[in-house]
Structure formats: structure tokens, C-alpha cells
Amino acid sequence: MKKVLVLMGGTSEEREVSLKSGQAVVKALLERGYQVESLDFNPRVLSDIEKIKPDVVFIALHGKNGEDGTVQGYLDLLGIPYTGSGVAASAIGMDKILTKKILCYEGLPTAEFEIIHKRDFNSTTFAAKSLIERFGLPIVVKPPTQGSSVGTSIVRNENDLLKAIELALTFGDEVLLERFIAGTELTVAVIGNHEPIVLPIIEITAQNEYYDYESKYTPGMSAHIIPARIDNEARELIEKITIKAYLALKCRGFSRIDFILDQNGDPYILEVNTIPGMTATSLIPDAGRAAGISFPELVEKFLIMAEEE
């Protein structure tokens, strides 16, 4: 019987979500008959992984020190197979700025953006007006390496722009500013290694002004509509873009790519989530169910792909 180690928890802002993902994964793997151990992960328990000697590791960590390639690199050094993307795709997916740069090279659509670095930022000389002239309002301000909308602001008037940038800078050295795309929020789950397939596209509606932390994790604050209420032309276009982005970023196993489809029918990629939420009510399991794949089956697929070419 295969011994699977599930890594969960971790030290990022998304610790609580990861604990829930990990518990759901453990339950699913037990149901499928695996021998399962789990670790509430932090750098001090690294040596425990070697002691446990798992056949394969299921990484149910979100955010820094888990989704960003660090744990993946350690497991590569140990020669232990693990679920999901490798070092490069994980590191790039964790950084929305690097992701967007690659999407641009591939000619894939993403909202127009600007980058501010902490060392160049001076709140008294900052040219808010020219940025607003270029992007209009609202402007989206994000810390590029956070998830779950943590530190993100949708700025609706000039006076709030500085505060939003300063908030984003508390999470790291760079800030990503984006043109706000009004439209339908969609997310597309992808599974596979070399020949990935997309699961049914999910439309997300949120009670709050956007899909913020509260909407994501409070039952009833958002809804998943599957299949998304979009026409066939938009669906086919989004599926094509999704596969191209997945392969361009060298994702493996699975990922979930977030989009906004604007009123003209033009899709924009917001980001690529290499380890999306995996609780029984998360988006990727919902997409799986819509494709006739139960949550335990989906989790097992992820595990099997870890050891495939």
C-alpha cells in the first residue's frame, strides 16, 4: 500500500485554508485506501519528511513556503515525487508579476499593468494622476505574491491610491497595479501533465464588491455557477487560452486559472493558482463534480499524476 504524506497548514497568510484543504485531502485518500500521514508543515519539520519516508507527498499548502517552489525543491533534492507543479511553475505562479510577463510573451490576454518597487516609491512625489489617466478608476492594487485577495484593494478614488499601495508594500517589495476589468468572473480548473484537459468553467458571483477574502471563505457570500453562463465562442476561447497558459508556465498535475470576461467578450487572465483550495466546497472540486469526478477520485488523480511523466 502506498504511503502518502499530506503537507498542510504552513506559515503563510493562507494557513487556515490550507489546514482545511489538507484535512479534506487526508479524508479523501483514506477513503481511496491509501496509508496516509500528515504534517502541519513549517521549516522545522523538514527532517520529519525524511524520517516518514513517504512514497509520494501531497502538497496541500497555499502561499509562501509551500505553493512557491520551496517545498517542491526540497522534495526534488530528496527524490520524493509530489503532487502538482514543479519548482519553476510554482515560483512563477506564486508571483503575479512574473506570471503576467510570461503571458505577455505568449500573447495571452491579461489586464494592463504597472509595477512599483519599494525602493523607487516616494509617497510625496508619486504620480497618482498620470496612473489614473492611463488606467481610469477603479485601479486594482495587489501584493504580487499573496493569495486569497489578502492585501488587495480596488481603488475607486485618487485619495485612496496611496494607502492601497502602502498596504500592498507591507507584504513585500513590489506592488502590482492593474486596470480594473468589469465583467464576469470565471475560473478554470485544469488537470494533466503534458496533455492537460480543462474541467467545466465556473462562474463566480460574490456578495461583496469583488471576490475578496470574506467572499471566498464565508458560506453564502459567493456562489459557483457551473457551467458558467457564457456563450460557446467565449467558452472555446477561454479553454484554448487556459491550456496555452498552463503549458507556457509549465504547470503539472493541476492548476486553476482565474479570469474576468469583459462586456465585449474579451477574457483576461488574472492569475494562475498552482495549488488551489482543496476543501470539499472549493472551486476545483466543484468543477470536478460537474465533470463527473468525485472529490476522492480527483484527489487520487492528482496523486497518480505525481508519479507520471
Ligand X SMILES: Nc1ncnc2c1ncn2[C@@H]1O[C@H](COP(=O)(O)OP(=O)(O)O)[C@@H](O)[C@H]1O
Task: List the one residue out of 238, 271, 269, 272 whose CA is nearest residue 109.
Answer: 269
Q: CB 270 → Mg ion: shortest distance, Å?
A: 6
User: Which of 157, 155, 151, 158 minimizes the C-alpha distance to 174?
Assistant: 151
Q: Is 140 a binder of ligand X (CB under 6 A)?
A: yes
- DSSP for 203-219 reads EEEESSSSS-HHHHHST
148 carries an active-site annotation: yes
Nearer to ligand X, 85 or 148 (CB): 148
Cell (9 digits) for 168:
500592498
C-alpha cell, 210 = 469583488
Told to judge if 256 belongs to the known catalytic residues of this protein, a careful annotator would answer yes
Shortest distance (Å) from residue 274 CB to ligand X: 11
User: Residue 76 gets which letter from DSSP?
Assistant: H
In the complex, what is the shortest distance from the CB of residue 70 to ligand X, in angstroms, rounded to a whole number?
Answer: 18
Among 166, 197, 203, which Cα is nearest to 183's? Answer: 203
153 as an active site residue: the answer is no
Is 37 among the residues known to form the active site?
Answer: no
Q: Are strands 183-191 and 202-206 parallel, antiparallel or unpaired?
A: antiparallel
Q: How many residues bind Mg ion (CB under 5 A)?
A: 1
Which is catalytic among the residues 160, 258, 286, 300?
258
- Euclidean distance between CA atoms 203 and 226, whole angstroms: 6
Least distance from C-beta 3 to ligand X, angstroms?
32
Minimum gap (Å) between residue 307 Cβ and ligand X: 29
Annotated catalytic residue: which of 38, 277, 286, 288? 277
- For the beta carbon of residue 217, count every other beta carbon within 10 angstroms: 19
Per rule CB under 5 A, is residue 68 in the interface with Mg ion?
A: no
Asked if 63 is an active-site residue, the reply is no
Residue 174 is a binding residue for Mg ion (CB under 5 A): no
Could you give the CA distance from residue 240 to residue 26 in angstroms, rounded to a whole number?
A: 33
Contact present, 256 and 238 (Cβ < 8 Å): no
Interaction with ligand X in 163-192: which residues (CB under 6 A)?
178, 180-181, 185
Is 160 one of the annotated active-site residues of the chain? no
Residue 61: what are its φ and ψ, rounded to 5°?
A: -100, 145
SS3 235: helix
Member of 13, 203, 258, 300 binding Mg ion (CB under 5 A): 258
Is 289 a residue of the active site? no
307 is catalytic: no
110 binds, among Mg ion, ligand X, none (CB under 5 to 8 A by kind): none
Binding site for ligand X (CB under 6 A): 111, 140, 147-149, 152, 178, 180-181, 185, 210-211, 258, 260, 270-271
Catalytic residues: 14, 148, 217, 256, 258, 271, 273, 277
Binding site for Mg ion (CB under 5 A): 258
